[in-house]
Structure 1
């Protein structure tokens, strides 16, 4: 087979793939419809609703819970659900890997993962700040990516900014 025929076959296959997958033909149109709204500042309160204290003090021990979600005015805006596992243990702290789903009263959701430093309540100093990775969103937050900035302000209490 000559180079010209091989080139035409490759060109025809490439055109068929692009024609069969419209998103590949023009990526800008696909992202235009998925612009996410900026979420509000969120306060989470896991006080009394998280099982971390009752989970074994061992690497791999899992725990989870729910948190009340409020905005900066203190108005309830949803519920947060977390699922974590202990990955590092030290004398006065635990490091856990957590996945969190923020379920807003509007029906919209945001999910993120974070490596969370959990201080011993007897020796804790606040605030402690760290970041999480946004893994997705629905509704107004569909297409949301980037980082969530987390400040641990008190035992089981967190402030999230975007």
Structure 2
């Protein structure tokens, strides 16, 4: 036996839906201020240390070669406060450097996470440090939910990057 259920639509239902949509549209500034409140969370200055854990050196030196790994996240005193994960794709091969597009995720020990993307310059052995480059904050969780902005990287040595956010 098959039962067919029908729903009668009425003008009252349509009016209620319109009212809910209108109230929701006027409520959006309150939501935006909540996101802005997250943006006010103090972002830590950190160091990303990939030494010995990233496989960039082991992959082909060709456009499209990908690499990634994990590293330690350290605070300004050098204490380990989390883990960083990255995945990169080599996009430009030059005699003096390689350039890769990278995405990364900083997972702090307290559970908060920050995500970023950047175009990473990988210098040749004759390059000098420090080297600076920029990235984009693509999001975060918990205290950093809704965050966006710039990520400022300073390469101190091969695989070691100071990271500041703004």
| Range of TM-score over shorter length | 0.7 to 0.9
Instruction: Please identify runs of 4+ aligned residues in structure 1 that moved more than 6 A.
Output: none
**1:22–1:156 distance in 2 versus 1, CA, 3 Å:** farther
Unpaired stretches in structure 1, ≥5 consecutive residues: 1-11
Instruction: Check conservation: 1:23, 1:29, Cα contact below 8 A.
Output: no
**1:21–1:84 distance in 2 versus 1, CA, 3 Å:** farther
| C-alpha separation in 1, matches of 2:23 and 2:107 | 32
1:41-56 to structure 2, matched below 5 A, reads: 41-56=45-60
| C-alpha separation in 2, matches of 1:93 and 1:21 | 54
Q: CA deviation at 1:22?
A: 4.9
Aligned to 2:33: 32
Instruction: Check conservation: 1:23, 1:30, Cα contact below 8 A.
Output: no
SS at match of 1:78: strand
| C-alpha separation in 2, matches of 1:150 and 1:19 | 45
| C-alpha separation in 2, matches of 1:136 and 1:22 | 28
Q: CA deviation digits over 1:77-128, x for unaligned, max 9?
A: 10000000000001121000000000000101000100010101x2121111
TM-score by length of 2: 0.84
Aligned to 2:153: 150
**1:23–1:51 distance in 2 versus 1, CA, 3 Å:** farther
Is 1:90 the counterpart of 2:94? The answer is: yes
**1:52–1:38 distance in 2 versus 1, CA, 3 Å:** same
| C-alpha separation in 2, matches of 1:95 and 1:113 | 13
| C-alpha separation in 2, matches of 1:73 and 1:84 | 28
SS at match of 1:44: strand
Aligned to 1:112: 116
TM-score by length of 1: 0.86
SS at match of 1:26: helix
Q: Superposition RMSD on alpha carbons, in Å? A: 1.7
Q: CA deviation at 1:75?
A: 1.1
